[in-house]
Structure 1
Amino acid sequence: MGLNRRQFINSALLATGSALLPETVSSRESLESFPISCNQYDWITFYQRDGKDWFSNLDASLADFASTGLKAYEPGLNTVDDVKKLLPLLQKHKLVMPSVYVNSSLHEHDEGQKSIQTVLSIADALKPVNTKIVVTNPNPIQWGGQQNKSDSQLTEQAKNLDLLGAELKKRGMTLAYHTHDVELRAAGREFHHMLLATSPQNVSLCLDVHWVYRGSGDSQVALFDIVKLYGKRIVELHLRQSKGGIWQETFGEGDIDYKLLMSRLKEINIKPHLVIEQCLEKTSPKTMNAVEAHKINLKSVSELKF
């Protein structure tokens, strides 16, 4: 006989509530020792709005980044060459890189194996900078498309995600599963399966707070339910705020109660790595540039208390 709704929730809570922080993070370096980081993507959106390209002169871009007082950078990496180009610039601008965001495609077998090898080659290239967290958001069937993955594709993806996490663990790194809104479609079947069908010791969670909020129909109830179910697996937060559903230029008071979120995490003794990702969209306000905004973002996130 299948589980009813209450039995399912209770069993999920037991499974996730007993999960410990991944050994590769907790035993080697406390997440609290990581400086507040910032993802490159929100800088890309600010630059695009001003008609600039973040990558055309990455040296100058990272000089802007460092001028805000930020000490840690979370880039998006696709190849080993990306790492080789970036490392000297990090050293020049005195930036550390405790976490990185790496693309993957894991829902088909052959493509999944190639993707795993690519991620692992990038991880190996990161050894000189002591990166601890590798964040990945497995690609959908089509970005912007409406097709959901089949059950067999979800099964394949979870298997590959767990394998990737196990291999990264051997390298002293933690794999953090990330989502946008698409994974919350169809009763969140993709999101939940990736966490329920993988080992907590191999796959942790990078909670992109606003994408979970938006993907759940702008619901804090759903957001905090996910924290209740999977909070013990959270090793990183992507931080973004909106007002009236619209992404703002700066992080602060808004639709999501971040003080309550931090309180809930404190209750379960989870202190994740904090990563600013205050991106812009077409309807966002336009009152300041990227440097001005990120000085405010850093101050606001620094004031969040666990």
Structure 2
Amino acid sequence: MNTTAPVSRRSFLKSSAAAIAGCCVAAQSKDEPAPKRKVIVGAHPWVYAATQPKYDITPVLPQIFADMSYAGLDGIELMHTALLPDDAVERISELSRKHKLAVIGMSFGGAMWDRAKHQEILDDAAKTIPRLAKLGGRTLGASVGAVKWGKKVLKTPEQLDAQAELLRKIIAICEKHGVVLNLHNHTYEVENELHDLKGTLARIPDVKLGPDLNWLVRGGVDPVAFIRQYGKQIVFLHLRDQNKDGRWSEALGEGDMDYAAISAALREINFSGDAVIELAHERDFKPTRPLRESLKMSREFVRKTLGY
């Protein structure tokens, strides 16, 4: 016996329209882009390393973590040498918990163009990348090394081949541990019309980029143009500033670089990677304030100018 009430034509049309509308909303939601990832703002400890014997930050890591936490930063990009000691993971993990400062990743460099150095560099990568992953780090900023620091010596095709060969091996280790490698730059990679960088990109076209915007300027490259040209591959940024005389400013935002234009370019490419403040000072520079205050000022400048 059928006990279902008869459905009128009007009721049928109303329910059908609602169902179709629901399907359309679902389809629209599916097609909409995912929410943009929050840009993590951290700092690199080079400015501390520069005053340490052999640039070893291990003895001053407690101060570094305390200062960066005080400055309101989200995380730290370590130097890979800090992960070489056998007790590094335990010590750094405790500092990270104590100061509520995440480990974002690490910088990593070597003379990758020199095959004689490959095994030594690869051994360091194999040791430090798993340790980085244990700390929650997920990025590695790779510097491939200059043939002669301070000299504009172009790498040969054979040297660029060697460089790319080692990078592929390091990328494979990174992928195994959930870490993304990006190419960091100083001046030598981007001078001479980006000879070094283009040599790497010709051999590893899909490698990610982590440009240091100030080194771009010092290498004669417009950072805004670079961001627009390579935006699809940029997953990481190093931020620093310099004065009109070419010397580094004490804090980010106190110099003459056009970060308003840089901010506009980053919005154009919908940048959603990590942005790391890396302060540096000339050897004869005399600080006017504690480093933690310069980091705090730099963090606030990033918030106000870049919106991160």
Q: TM-score range with shorter-chain normalisation?
A: 0.7 to 0.9
Match of 2:162 in 1: 156
Match of 2:121 in 1: 115
In 2, distance between residues paired with 1:156 and 1:127?
26
Does the aligned pair in 2 maintain the 1:241–1:250 contact within 8 Å?
A: yes
Deviations 1:273-292 (A, max 9, x none): 11011211146574222122
Match of 2:282 in 1: 281
Match of 1:232 in 2: 232
Q: Please list, as runs of the form range in 1=range in 2, the aligned pairs for 1:25-40 lying within 5 A after superposition.
A: 32-33=37-38, 35-40=40-45
SS at 1:36 equivalent: strand
After TM superposition, the score normalised by the length of structure 2 is: 0.77
Match of 2:265 in 1: 264
Which residue identity lines up with residue 288 of structure 1 in the other structure? R
Which residue identity lines up with residue 249 of structure 1 in the other structure? E
User: Which segment drifts farther, 178-187 or 289-298?
Assistant: 178-187
Which residue identity lines up with residue 35 of structure 1 in the other structure? I
Structure 2 runs not aligned, ≥5 long: 1-34
Which residue identity lines up with residue 241 of structure 2 in the other structure? Q
In 1, distance between residues paired with 2:74 and 2:256?
28
Which residue identity lines up with residue 213 of structure 2 in the other structure? V
Could you say if the C-alpha distance between residues 224 and 34 of structure 1 is closer, same or farther in structure 2, counting changes exceeding 3 Å?
closer
In 1, distance between residues paired with 2:289 and 2:46?
17
Deviations 1:237-287 (A, max 9, x none): 100111212211111164322222222222222222110112111465742
Tell me by how many angstroms 1:54 deviates: 5.2
Tell me by how many angstroms 1:144 deviates: 3.6
Q: Pick from 59, 67, 81: which aligns with 1:64?
A: 67
Tell me by how many angstroms 1:112 deviates: 2.0
SS at 1:250 equivalent: coil
Deviations 1:126-154 (A, max 9, x none): 22222111111012224344543222101
Could you say if the C-alpha distance between residues 158 and 286 of structure 1 is closer, same or farther in structure 2, counting changes exceeding 3 Å?
same
Does the aligned pair in 2 maintain the 1:120–1:168 contact within 8 Å?
A: no
In 2, distance between residues paired with 1:265 and 1:305?
10
SS at 1:75 equivalent: strand
In 1, distance between residues paired with 2:133 and 2:189?
31
Structure 1 runs not aligned, ≥5 long: 1-29
In 2, distance between residues paired with 1:31 and 1:38?
22
Does the aligned pair in 2 maintain the 1:249–1:285 contact within 8 Å?
A: no
SS at 2:43 equivalent: strand
After TM superposition, the score normalised by the length of structure 1 is: 0.77
How many residues were matched structurally? 268
In 2, distance between residues paired with 1:96 and 1:150?
40
Tell me by how many angstroms 1:294 deviates: 1.2
Q: Please list, as runs of the form range in 1=range in 2, the aligned pairs for 1:41-80 lying within 5 A after superposition.
A: 41-45=46-50, 55-78=58-81, 79-80=83-84
> Which gives a bigger RCO, structure 1 or 2 (Cα 8 Å, sep 6+)?
1
Does the aligned pair in 2 maintain the 1:248–1:284 contact within 8 Å?
A: no
Does the aligned pair in 2 maintain the 1:31–1:271 contact within 8 Å?
A: yes
Match of 1:94 in 2: 100
In 2, distance between residues paired with 1:112 and 1:236?
25
RMSD of the TM alignment (CA)?
2.7
